[in-house]
Amino acid sequence: MNELLTKMFFGGFVRMHVLYHAVREPVFGVEMMEELGRHGYEVGAGTLYPMLHQLEKAGYLSAHSEVIAGKRRKYYRTTPAGEEALEQAKIKLGELVSEVLHDKPPTPSIRTDRSENHQNPNT
């Protein structure tokens, strides 16, 4: 997947995706990369790990380490603040989906001044 697209749009999607899965069960970096790959996102360690740290720093994820087969593995879970952030993001996502995918804007025009008619300036 194109790096520019990732930078422009998918960063937020990936963060939401991580919060969504980490509500359900603890997740670690490698399996999260595989899960994102399954959805068609090519997110490498150099992108995902800074995001995980950023979400942790923001208080949206909490981390704990476990030693699995002699290797230290860091697991992440969504915190209550992270769940709240995810709920807010879901509302925004729902609005965006209905407008952009289903072409259902709340009003026909984003212009607030209805007296101006830019389509037909002579009327």
Contact set with Zn ion (CB under 5 A):
35
Instruction: Indicate the residue among 52 and 113 with the shorter CB distance to Zn ion.
Output: 52
User: Phi/psi of residue 122, each to 5°?
Assistant: -85, -5
Q: Which residue is nearest to Zn ion (CB)?
A: 35
Instruction: Indicate the residue among 35 and 83 with the shorter CB distance to Zn ion.
Output: 35
Contact status, residue 2 vs residue 53, Cβ threshold 8 Å: no
Instruction: Indicate the residue among 36 and 85 with the shorter CB distance to Zn ion.
Output: 36
Instruction: Indicate the residue among 9 and 117 with the shorter CB distance to Zn ion.
Output: 9
Minimum gap (Å) between residue 8 Cβ and Zn ion = 21
User: From residue 99, how far is each of 6, 81, 94 by CA, in Å?
Assistant: 22, 27, 9
DSSP class of residue 115 equals T
DSSP for 16-38, written as a single string: HHHHHHHHHS-EEHHHHHHHHHH
Residue with tokens 């490498």: 44
Minimum gap (Å) between residue 44 Cβ and Zn ion = 17
Minimum gap (Å) between residue 70 Cβ and Zn ion = 29
Minimum gap (Å) between residue 115 Cβ and Zn ion = 48
